[in-house]
Structure 1
């Protein structure tokens, strides 16, 4: 609540980006290993399975956003005891929801994958992966919650350690499971579960000393669901929009064969690593905004938004240069063939610029979620996933996989622009009447 806002944003987002980059880099490395088994059915299976896993993780992220935003406000208002009580109760609810969601996904994996267009060996392998990984969803949800609490109290370094721990475990076990023990995709799934166990254990260890957890009290569940859930529910709805749009894109790509799906999967692995800083801003700038809102320092809320936008522009510009210069290396590393190679080349050289507008949308959503307007982010995200995706992708599919990618990029330009303009209007209306 004092000091340079840009320094706070860089510290929080930078440490968060390191953690996210480590996690996504391991996922990218995992895909790299699978691609060198030289079986397009396996790489396509990863793409189909990840599309459904993305839905699960989006629910977890939505709950985590609600937790971080509410607890950040309470910490900013110096109400530590209430923050601990509500956080403990809501985390118990989060774990229960994740357990139900993970179990349902495992049970209905095969019919859900068929809806995406998966068939044959790709369908069988994707279903096997989800049967193993989905029941462990509560572990990753709990790890996210503990990391969010650390960010809410301003301990960015320990929050980073949680994700780094999981990344290290996965990086060590993936090649062992896939190549040494010859378990293939099943080995990747087992490695994922063990990494989630490590993330949870690291979360509890790093949160010690902050006094942010206690045994959940019965009387705390109702206010926790009301205060945190009031932010979390629209945040979940918001986060579900992106994977829903991605499901439509995956289904559209599936009609052009496994090479097209594999090309899209390669992009989906590159993006989280390349834009880790942009994605980290969503979880990192939020607590800064929430704390300054709680302290009634509205100028610093606007300053935090501006700092996030500047970092987004810097990140996208740098990433464009790196990917455009190295796209041939990427094609060779991931053994991308046929139309898949054309998809990856177009993205790296040109369409990567559209992520500036993805960043604008994400940063705007963070402002909405932490400043009392969570339904704005829900509206913009679903607008992008439906009006900004379906008609553009449908029209573009007439021109093949390339048209699908171009259509998807055009849609996000529109909604990213309007979202950030609305965020500035929301901040402009803040005043003493705004409740923490």
Structure 2
């Protein structure tokens, strides 16, 4: 059904908040789960080749995190602004920001691809490749980099469409690409005998397909169309993108650094340790995809209502998401604790060293899982309502402020166990930091709400 930007405004500022968030969250949850699933599919199919290929995919994941960081930086930076301006009914500025965010991301993605290909071997070594893993890393990374411009631009379109309250349109583009990836993986890896190069090629083809589908979907359903004539590289717009996108850049960028350091730390204990930790990272991402998708359903509600001065609806949405997310993660943690070995063995059956490392790390991860709901939803709210300092501090904490020191300290004293428990410890400390950061903002909105009565 076609609807206008005005219809979106009325819907997002008047519909019951829980129902509204659920309706917007379902498409984003599906998008996140499918995206995570095809990341897991890569790991699953590559795991059928050998341990070195599995480890190489984990190593290259840090580069993909950097590419995603750029996409999220421009996507969230422009999307947050668009949702607030549409909430304030300033459509022209929203159109200019949509084009500006898209083209900056596309140009940056091209630059990343060129630089990465020029320095392919030193980059592969810096990411933590051992001599036995290096040939596989170079094959996989060399192809993945070709898709960088399509990935950055697709993430911008996905987020902009979502922030306009049209998550179903964003879902079609992302899910279609993911399905293509899963279908192509076994065909290119095994039927055409391309090995790890086939997995990389499947990923790039799927990203190109997503790019063109999202470009098409962005012209439907009252969405703002991307037009080059609206590209406005002014200082004011760049400042808005930096303010709204820096938390995402910090979160994703530090996640990439953390992955590199994790691979280096695990590499001291052999290829199996790198492969085991890589598998756990993908499993945790898949479960967290539900929470992130649910939180992304909250973001347009948060942005529109904050822009319209409806602070009570923002607070109501926040608490609803935290409660639902906490219950979901608690159920996953309890269910997964007893089956850690079985879960890891799905990806690398018959390799006891990989399974032992992965199962131990997975159990540590499950202990702090329920705390993630407060952390993720807090981060999304602070970023959407333009609290850049608090949002950046919180988004930097989990994979930067806490994880990076811990990945040096814990393995020094505890060996391999220190590597396995590092993320869980960082999550606990991030939760403790998030409580005062978010509490002060919730109280501020409560005061503003009271003043309106």
Query: Shorter-chain-normalised TM-score: which range?
Result: over 0.9
Deviation at 1:234, TM superposition (A): 4.5
* Aligned partner of residue 220 in structure 1, secondary structure: coil
* Aligned partner of residue 402 in structure 2, secondary structure: coil
Is 1:240 equivalent to 2:284 in the alignment? no
Q: Which residue of 2 aligns with 1:270?
A: 283
Q: Which residue of 1 aligns with 2:5?
A: none
Unmatched segments (≥5 aa) in structure 1: none
Is 1:423 equivalent to 2:425 in the alignment? no
Runs ≥4 residues deviating over 6 A: none
Given the superposition, is the C-alpha separation of residues 218 and 331 from structure 1 closer, same or farther in structure 2, using an over 3 Å criterion? closer
Q: Which residue of 2 aligns with 1:340?
A: 354
In structure 2, distance between residues paired with 1:121 and 1:379: 38
In structure 2, distance between residues paired with 1:6 and 1:419: 23
Is 1:18 equivalent to 2:33 in the alignment? no
Deviation at 1:311, TM superposition (A): 2.3
In structure 1, distance between residues paired with 2:365 and 2:379: 22
Matching of residues 6-405 of structure 1 within 5 Å:
6-37=18-49, 39-209=50-220, 210-217=222-229, 220-222=232-234, 223-335=236-348, 337-397=351-411, 398-405=413-420
Total equivalences in the alignment: 432
Deviation at 1:327, TM superposition (A): 2.8
Deviation at 1:43, TM superposition (A): 1.0
Deviates more, 1:400-409 or 1:177-186: 400-409
In structure 1, distance between residues paired with 2:269 and 2:417: 11
* Aligned partner of residue 429 in structure 1, secondary structure: helix
Deviates more, 1:96-105 or 1:389-398: 389-398
Q: Is the 8 A contact 2:22 2:297 kept in 1?
A: no
Residues 105-140 of structure 1: CA deviation (Å, up to 9, x unaligned)? 232232123223312231121122111111321111
Deviates more, 1:132-141 or 1:104-113: 104-113
Residues 53-83 of structure 1: CA deviation (Å, up to 9, x unaligned)? 2122122112211121111111111222321
Given the superposition, is the C-alpha separation of residues 318 and 11 from structure 1 closer, same or farther in structure 2, using an over 3 Å criterion? farther
Residues 335-386 of structure 1: CA deviation (Å, up to 9, x unaligned)? 2534432232224444323233333222221122112212222223333334
TM-score by length of 1: 0.93
* Aligned partner of residue 372 in structure 1, secondary structure: coil
Residues 144-164 of structure 1: CA deviation (Å, up to 9, x unaligned)? 222222212211211111111
| Superposition RMSD in Å | 2.1
Residues 406-436 of structure 1: CA deviation (Å, up to 9, x unaligned)? 233112211123214311211322338x9xx
In structure 1, distance between residues paired with 2:368 and 2:258: 16
Q: Is the 8 A contact 2:161 2:223 kept in 1?
A: no
* Aligned partner of residue 121 in structure 1, secondary structure: coil
Deviation at 1:181, TM superposition (A): 0.2
Deviation at 1:287, TM superposition (A): 1.9
Given the superposition, is the C-alpha separation of residues 417 and 312 from structure 1 closer, same or farther in structure 2, using an over 3 Å criterion? farther
Deviates more, 1:190-199 or 1:200-209: 200-209
Q: Is the 8 A contact 1:292 1:300 kept in 2?
A: yes
Q: Is the 8 A contact 1:360 1:417 kept in 2?
A: no
Deviation at 1:219, TM superposition (A): 7.3
TM-score by length of 2: 0.89
